Structure 1
């Protein structure tokens, strides 16, 4: 898709988001909502299975396709979501893939992801936008260490394949100590 114009359609939407590296989790008192998320990136594809535990109980299951733009800025590419039944999710979960787990905290206007497992210590804030103007005018969270929107290492598809040593080195580049040691 590199160099091609985005062609949103009936199902694929333009995804606009900016990501920011945080030095640690936010103040718990500021959290409006908390959700546990498990993402399974299906090997050799642009597909992600997602299970979200909802605050009110129950869960949401989705299959997402992301087609990146490979261009700098808030426009990340096209995104298509399909909501799944438990049986559909269970069938797709048998495909080879790599798993990433995180807790998403809602602190409007951002969501803050606190990663688990080999990515412990990584905390990212993310803001989504309906228009390019909204994305350009967004003021980053005061606690952010750096904007990593254009750093492909801080996308889910890359993070899920990162080793612990790689993550520690990437965080050090931004001056963030290995908080998850």
Structure 2
């Protein structure tokens, strides 16, 4: 138990160093690839994110969705990638190869769709090499470049607002 506390403290320190060193680079490059991080304990409808990707003209092969669960059982592995707290080591070290691949992928946009304050979810969002990070309002505003304040269950409002602002930012392809 004591070691678990030290591990969590080292991961929080790593998270803070990631957030402090992040540089936001805004450009007018269109969104071609999209990553989604969600907490499957809060939201488990992957199809809504596929429809959102289609609405912002991201091709299915350029969409990657990963899910987190605090449940340590591997019963949810029918999704793209499902990870849990055991996939993280000390100092933010990732033990899951697929999760490490997701983090290293330079997505044009990353959507962090969760509200629970879970350190592992924050680590994925902060460590991601995505160029533009989008999320729902959380206690730490440094996690995302663009924040939409909606209730987690109001995905239609989130989608409508996201599309509206991505059009304003000139991030959606006009094909």
Compute the TM-score of the two structures, normalised by the length of structure 1: 0.28
Higher relative strand content: 1
Compute the TM-score of the two structures, normalised by the length of structure 2: 0.29
